[in-house]
Amino acid sequence: MKYSICLLLAVTLVGLASSLVYASDPSPLQDFCVAVNDSNAAVFVNGKICKDPKMVTADDFYFSGLNKPGNTSNSVGSRVTQVTVNQLAGLNTLGISLVRIDYAPQGLNPPHTHPRATEVLVVVEGTLYVGFVTSNPANPNMKNKLFTKILHPGDVFVFPEGLIHFQFNVGKKKAVAFAGLSSQNPGVITIANAVFGSDPPISRDVLTKAFQVDKNVIKYLQSQF
Q: What are phi and psi of 29, to 5 degrees?
A: -105, 5
In sequence order, the β-bridge partners of residue 205 are none
SS3 57: coil
Q: Is 125 labeled as ligand-binding?
A: no
Residue 17: CA count within 13 A, CB half-sphere: 23
Task: Give the span between the Cα atoms of 118 and 179, in whole angstroms.
Answer: 10
The closest alpha carbon to 195, from 165, 163, 223, 222, belongs to: 222
114 labeled part of a ligand binding site:
yes
DSSP string for 76-121:
SSEEEEEESTTT-GGGTTS--EEEEEEE-TT-EEEEEE-TT--EEE
3-state class of 96 per DSSP? coil
Distance CA 79, CA 19 (A): 25
Q: Is 119 annotated as a binding residue?
A: yes
Q: Which residues are annotated as a binding site for Mn(2+)?
A: 112, 114, 119, 165
Q: Which residues are annotated as a binding site for oxalate?
A: 109, 114, 119
Q: Which residues are annotated as a binding site?
A: 109, 112, 114, 119, 165
